[in-house]
Structure 1
Amino acid sequence: MTPSSDINKIIREMKAAQRRAEQQVQRELKRAVDKANREIGQHNRRVEQQNRQAVAEYNRKVDAHNRAADRHNKQEVDRVNRELRKAASRPAVTYTESERQLAQRVQESIATQDTREYHIFLSYARIDGSEIASDLRHNLEDMGVSVWFDEVAIRPGKSLALQMDQGLRRAHAGVAVLTAAYLTGRFWTERELGALLHKSTLIPVLHNVTFEDVAQYSGILPDLAGFNTEHDAVRDIAEKIAAAVMVTESP
């Protein structure tokens, strides 16, 4: 062979080797791409499965929450309906003549007053009047009556006497829960009642005492008028007080 043919042979062999090398690189690249695609596909399938499981778990929790909420709402609706049926079946409160005159006197007096922060100042003796006073207060507030109540309104560190005096001035009317302990003339109840006595808006509520007991207490009431837990339920008394103190203002 001539030198020229040797050179051509070498060139052909080099080109063939280059083609084989390129083909090998392409095969390896394809295998790498296929492997990467398989791994990506497996990863995506795992992610989709996890997402489906997470969504299914979330939906189960949402369904459980919704079922619980539905049960709660149904119970609340049933409770409200029972209360409405009880209210509809309960006879309207009735007034004695002295109670009617008391309510009318309070209404007429409040109608001439300036706006106050509270509808009533609630006075009671803690020894034997705390429970009835708290029950009365909650019933009044359920009916929209704002109540100055020492357990809520009194702030520690400030003059107790001053705060009570301010409470009396900031209320349209005073409700005195007259109990046996109240009638003994304890200092605070005596002070509160003394401030209320001159007002035509004093509303006595007798609890476990009689008008005869009250009459013996230094003649504290100008007339023996008031509401009595012996004759009426606390809620009925609250309705009567609410009707007396919540005077509708003229437009």
Structure 2
Amino acid sequence: MSIQSITSSISSVDREIHSLETQVQSVNSTISRKEKEANSYLDKIHREKDLKRIITYQKELGRKQDEINRLNKDRANKIKTLSDKQTKRLTLIQSLNKEEQRERDKIKREQKDILSVQQSITREMERQKALSSASLQLPYSTSAVQVSKSYDVFVSHASEDKDDFVRPFVELLQKMQVAVWYDEFELQIGDSLRRSIENGLKNSTYGIVVLSEAFFKKEWPQRELDGLFAKEIEGEKVILPIWHKISKSEVIKFSPIIADLMAINTTMFTIEEVAAQIAKRVKQ
């Protein structure tokens, strides 16, 4: 059972327990009242001298005792049912604790896996940086040396989000004098996709991550996010998340770590407002 279904079952059992406790209290009150009535008839029998009235009181006393016996049986059944419900609740609580522990263990494993990937990316980036430094120290030919461009932001996104958000968002950033690495502008025919993305990541101050349902299904955007996480591990606060048509629970399911980062939600702000907030952060 899932945590949600167990929690729902516990709530249902709690309602049943409360109802049974109320019923038991009501039966107890009725039994107490019937016992007082029976004692009243018993007192009348002891004081009465008239035989006919004594017989009448004894019949009434017998009926009251029958009623009390039935009520006691009903109370016993309710108390047994209540005990069963309380036992069931205890079992559900134990199951809930186990499921919550499994979920915590799962999150720890996922975080450990993410950290392992980030460390691998960091090592790879350091290796690439070392190779790059070594290549700069070698004599170069008469051909022009390619100088890497620098960018304010790198935009990581899924292609499905280009038309409705990413492209107009990037165009607004450029109008606000923000230097953007964006695949449509930076990739040319014959370019190495991996190398170009690595250069964009390496030479960008911030990484904008447009998180969406499509993003979570893509391999390349997630690799780009891993690269940004690697820079975060080195102490740079570089990731600027944008939640595009998704909820916080969906982000937590994808990555509890990135869910903790302050994010801008496109369901709450216009594209212009999102671009303005990003531009303000970049130019601080």
TM-score of the aligned structures, taking structure 2 as reference length: 0.44
* Structure with more helix by fraction: 2
Specify the structure having the higher radius of gyration (Cα): 1
